[in-house]
Structure 1
């Protein structure tokens, strides 16, 4: 076993989800099997976005930084063998965007720690990703409460129509050297067609999984839009409406993430 047996970062109360403007506190832990000379021990909190022209490629062609704060935990000296803990705290910017990860780019927030050793010795590094959930208040968007569909279809032809299909579409736009648009069908429901010369009403709702919020405020490289599309294949007809997805329900007060709440990147709770 080497001289550095443990080098890790932990966040207070095991939290992984934070809101913009909140303090982020934690501890850097080090366990040594032998004394370790060092030049400095530092911890850094960063938030950034990277976008690529190719799917699943982390060679970013465009990058954007949101914050980069550093603290010195210890100056030049020598750590004796045994366990050592270094507490730290940062204040997250009020403008920090929500964490997100897609095929052409991602918004990542992380804490990194480093033990800088004397010249010709290997530095020791570790990191921990955390997630920011920026509130999108649906009370500011009128007449949007739930993803429910009420369609009135009048068939004025002599043929039966094809089944009617309602789809929830997600459009993610990435600003690389050019804009890249990734459109996906998130959820879909199908109803019966309409008989010739008949009129029918269709009432349906779409069950929506956890999704990133609309727009991603604070980020200029990635933009998210959602649409509800109702369509017929025969005869060909399509109606498309914008849908807003947020994390503060209509007529509800904002709720801060609870300690210990774990969410995957880019997946705030839906309303």
Structure 2
């Protein structure tokens, strides 16, 4: 909360992409814009860039103990972090002062390439946000500005393998039953040009039919379904949500004694579908399903195959700008991973900062290792230098065990022999005392029993 004209009064975070949507690998530019009605004393203005995934769900469980049924809820949770970067954009080396005027502080951030798309469902979500916070000194408090942005991750063509080849589903020798119970074959083939499909496009479906029977195909149904899978680590579990139908196309009938080839177009919806390839706790799978319904006493036949739907990096920028998806995509071209700069060249919107009337100790961007006297807000968590390795189970803390006595002062307790007349073997003392021979020396021992 901003009080008495201090901090981020009428503040906002302005991004160069008007829809706050960025490609993975794109350079982000923006400004922290705010107004001061009186001078403020502060130590630093920092910006935190955070990308994380969260899976949360609950399940009810009932137990019967001694004839009494009890109910309890089990909470499942899984987290994953993709980046957590803090950047000091103003101050950071001591006490600084900002005059009473309108301020606009620029910043830039390189969105990583290997991150998943933004995603939001009831069971889990992937969010990306920018948070600017000012460390005020008089009074000592912190003012925050926060803004979420969306990430669209194009398909990585290097990981597709055989998925780029044409897709074919075969329904061979489907046995039918006519009124004389004679069985005749039907051959039906469904072909797609590729198992990798660009979102928002039309899919040409080719169907080759050889129906030599007297039974007609009443209907052929084509569906594209989306299926989500969620994984948690506390406790460990995996949950697959019910399938969602994205688009459906129904054709038919196809008469008996027919040999023909059909081509039908299926239009994908104008929505940005997520690419969760870089996420390990959530998956999204797209399925192409074909269902055939025949007349008479014949059962329906169904088959499906996995496909990939997303934004192809080879898409023409001019076509994207004119498509119905343009309002959901960034204005900049798709970044080229082979570009040494990491982003596609082009004009960037950046409001210059006026430093003529400001009294500050230091202006500019400094590295995370040199942030002085700056503590990350508790909701951001610690700032690791790199992503810690994933470990399963309990890890004992590192505890330094100190000896109970100082070096060289360990007391030695004298060990007395158990029997005064017997010398002590310092290695292994005898467990029982040594007794003398009960028989006189040289006397022969005669056994009392006769030999066997």
What TM-score does the superposition give when structure 2 sets the normalisation length?
0.50
Cα deviation for residue 243 of structure 1 reads 2.1
- 1:2 is displaced (CA, Å) by 4.4
Are 1:263 and 2:328 an aligned pair?
yes
Measured in 2, the distance between the counterparts of 1:13 and 1:155 equals 55
8 Å CA contact 1:170–1:183 kept in 2: the answer is: yes
Give the aligned partner of residue 223 of structure 2: 167
Whether contact under 8 Å (2:40, 2:138) holds in the other structure is no
Q: Which residue number corresponds to residue 118 of structure 2?
A: 99
User: 1:82-131 CA distances to partner (integer Å, 9 max, x unpaired)?
Assistant: 21121112222232222222332222222111123348755221112222
Match of 1:40 in 2: 44
Structure 1 residues 264, 13: CA separation in 2 closer, same or farther (over 3 Å shift)? closer
Q: Are 1:147 and 2:163 an aligned pair?
A: no
How far 1:193 moved relative to its partner?
A: 3.0
Contact 1:43–1:72 (CA under 8 A) maintained in structure 2? yes
CA distance, structure 1, for counterparts of residue 304 and residue 30 of structure 2: 46
Matched, 1:30 2:30: no
Stretch moving more, 176-185 or 211-220: 211-220
In structure 2, the residue matched to 1:248 is 312
Match of 1:108 in 2: 127
Change beyond 3 A, Cα 1:190–1:14: closer
Higher mean Cα deviation, 192-201 or 229-238? Answer: 192-201
Identify unmatched segments of 5+ residues in structure 1.
none
- Does residue 1:219 correspond to 2:274, yes or no? no
> How many pairs align?
259
Report the Cα offset of residue 232 of structure 1.
3.0
Specify the alignment match of 1:125 in structure 2: 144
Larger C-alpha radius of gyration, 1 or 2?
Answer: 2
Report deviation, 1:150.
2.1
CA drift of 1:164 comes to: 1.9
| Aligned residue among 7, 10, 13 for 1:9 | 13
- Give the C-alpha shift of residue 216 in structure 1: 2.0
The 8 Å contact of residues 220 and 291 in structure 2, kept in 1 or not, is answered as: yes
CA distance in 1 between partners of 2:16 and 2:56 (Å):
34
CA separation in 1, counterparts of 2:137 and 2:242? 47
> Are 1:79 and 2:109 matched, yes or no?
no
Superposed CA RMSD in Å reads: 3.5
Which structure is richer in relative contact order (CA contacts within 8 A, separation 6 or more)?
1
User: d(CA) in 2 for partners of 1:44 and 1:93?
Assistant: 15
- Distance in structure 2 (CA, Å) of the matches to 1:64 and 1:41: 27
Q: Note the C-alpha offset of 1:215.
A: 4.9
Q: Select which of 78, 83, 87 maps to 1:62.
A: 78
What CA distance in whole angstroms lies between the structure 1 residues aligned with 2:140 and 2:45? 14
Task: Check whether the contact 2:35–2:101 (CA below 8 A) recurs between aligned residues.
Answer: yes
Distance in 2 separating the partners of 1:228 and 1:29 = 48
Under a length normalisation based on structure 1, what TM-score does the superposition of the two structures give?
A: 0.78
| Residues 46, 88 of structure 2: 8 Å contact kept | yes
1:184 Cα offset (Å): 0.6
- Report if the CA contact (8 A) 1:137-1:247 is conserved: no
CA distance in 2, matches of 1:180, 1:226: 13
> What SS is found at the alignment partner of 2:225?
strand
